[in-house]
């Protein structure tokens, strides 16, 4: 049973819409209006990276195959597509073999282009999920369920909306399903709609554009880039505007304001002189996220202060680092006691 490009949108979560061109389907996680907010910036190329996008189907197939084209999007060219059956991994399609040298691998160019992979599935009815890469743009030619008598969309009922910078986008997870946003959404049985962009800052222009659905929860994780680039006064203004318009759009939705995790270069002279101590960014976030439906979470210690759990040794968690982040964030959210 083949799911062709024209049918794929029914099976996709985490995308605002899907376009079909030359017999291939491309998911877009930003609406055209949201994408226009990035016009003229260096971030435009990242907008069609498939972070948080997932293909889900309930089926009795004995195997699943996917054919697609990967093209450059973010500053990283390595990727993985991860496939699960009832939550258990059955395989990944990658253009790397886990052979990336510590601290240098983000800049290594990897092959993009046409790929195909096929994976055996357990017997009986199951839910198959295909997690698309955070790092590259994906155009899907087809998904084939071999030996299937049926295959139907298996969308989850609720969606978590994520805003943030490169860490929330997924940099530098080797396996796309290991980034913290995916792990958090999975823990609560939610779709992940990821609006994070590597290198980004508090951007009220994006928060102002309301989604067509009401998210079950919203996670906001800016601050580390803001501290690194801007003055405290400017960040206070932008963060205040961001949370104000987010509250206006979603006054009853639980919103979790995540303060930045540790970074190795937190004592860099120019940033400290411009903004102040890195730990003070949490005060700015706490002051901005002042509404009753908002919960400030200090994530500073969620990832160990050890370069060994950071892919680039200083800023972006590795898969191991993301596991720490997700586990502690999930615990913190549960301790708040908000029903999600």
Query: What pLDDT does residue 53 have?
Result: 98
In this prediction, residue 164 has a pLDDT band, given cuts at 50, 70 and 90, of very high
Query: What pLDDT does residue 107 have?
Result: 64
Query: What pLDDT does residue 104 have?
Result: 56
Query: What pLDDT does residue 106 have?
Result: 59
- Please state, in angstroms and as integers, the Cα–Cα distance from residue 289 to each residue in 65, 192, 243, 255, 303, following that order: 44, 22, 6, 9, 23
Is it the case that residue 218 has pLDDT exceeding 70? yes
Query: What pLDDT does residue 100 have?
Result: 60
Is it the case that residue 75 has pLDDT exceeding 60? yes
Is it the case that residue 103 has pLDDT exceeding 70? no
> How would you write the chain as a 3-class SS string?
CEEECCCHHHHEECCCEEEEECCEEEEECCCHHHHHCCCCCCCHHHCCECCCCEEEEEECCCEEEEEEEEEECCCCCCCEEEEEECCEEEEEEECCCCCCCCCCHHHCCCCCEEEEEEEECCCCCEEEEEECCCCEEEEEEEEEEECCCCEEECCCCCEEEEEECHHHHCCCCCCHHHCHHHHHHHHCCCEEEECCCCCCCCCHHHHCCCCCCCCCEEEEECCHHHHHHCCHHHHHHHHHHHHHHHHHHCCCCCEEEEECCCCCCCCCHHHHHHCCCHHHHHHHHHHHCCCCCEEEEECCCCCCCCHHHECCCCCCECHHHHHHHHHHHHHHHHHHCCCC
What's the average model confidence in pLDDT over 207-223? 98
Mean pLDDT across the chain, nearest whole number?
95
The C-alpha atoms of residue 128 and residue 62 are separated, in whole angstroms, by: 11
What sign does the dihedral 5-85-197-102 (CA atoms) show? Answer: negative
Query: What pLDDT does residue 99 have?
Result: 62
Radius of gyration of the chain (CA): 20
Q: CB under 8 Å to 40, separation ≥6 — which residues?
A: none
In this prediction, residue 312 has a pLDDT band, given cuts at 50, 70 and 90, of confident
How many residues would you count in the chain?
340
The C-alpha atoms of residue 241 and residue 291 are separated, in whole angstroms, by: 12
Query: What pLDDT does residue 88 have?
Result: 97
In this prediction, residue 199 has a pLDDT band, given cuts at 50, 70 and 90, of very high
What's the average model confidence in pLDDT over 33-51? 94
Catalogue the long-range contacts made by 323-328 (C-beta closer than 8 Å, 24 or more residues apart): 323/178, 323/183, 325/180, 325/261, 325/299, 326/180, 326/183, 326/184, 326/187, 327/183, 328/299, 328/301, 328/302
């Amino acid at each position: 049973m083949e799911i062709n490009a024209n049918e794929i949108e029914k099976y996709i979560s985490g995308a605002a819409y899907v376009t079909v061109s030359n017999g291939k389907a491309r998911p877009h996680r930003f609406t055209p209006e949201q994408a226009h907010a990035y016009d003229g910036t260096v971030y435009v190329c990242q907008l069609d990276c498939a972070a948080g996008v997932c293909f889900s189907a309930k089926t009795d197939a004995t195997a699943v195959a996917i054919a697609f084209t990967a093209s450059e999007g973010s500053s990283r060219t390595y990727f993985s597509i991860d496939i699960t059956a009832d939550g258990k991994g059955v395989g990944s399609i990658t253009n790397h073999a886990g052979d990336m040298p510590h601290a240098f691998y983000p800049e290594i160019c990897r092959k993009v282009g046409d790929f195909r992979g096929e994976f055996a599935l357990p017997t009986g009815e199951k839910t198959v999920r295909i997690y698309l890469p955070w790092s590259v743009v994906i155009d899907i030619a087809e998904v084939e369920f071999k030996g299937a008598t049926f295959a139907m969309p298996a969308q989850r009922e609720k969606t978590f909306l994520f805003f943030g910078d490169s860490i929330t986008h997924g940099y530098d997870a080797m396996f796309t399903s290991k980034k913290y946003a995916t792990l958090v959404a999975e823990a609560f049985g939610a779709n992940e709609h990821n609006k994070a962009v590597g290198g980004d800052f508090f951007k009220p222009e994006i928060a102002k554009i309301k989604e067509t659905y009401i998210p079950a929860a919203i996670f906001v994780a800016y601050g580390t880039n803001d501290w690194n680039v801007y003055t405290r006064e400017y960040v206070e203004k932008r963060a205040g505007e961001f949370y104000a318009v987010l509250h206006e759009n979603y006054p009853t939705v639980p919103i979790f304001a995540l303060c930045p995790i540790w970074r190795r270069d937190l004592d860099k002279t120019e940033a400290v002189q411009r903004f102040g101590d890195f730990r003070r960014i949490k005060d700015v976030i706490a002051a901005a996220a002042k509404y009753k439906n908002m919960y400030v979470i200090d994530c500073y210690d969620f990832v160990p202060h050890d370069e060994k759990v950071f892919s680039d040794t200083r800023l972006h968690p590795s898969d191991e680092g993301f596991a720490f982040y997700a586990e502690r964030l999930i615990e913190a959210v549960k301790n708040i006691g908000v029903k999600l």
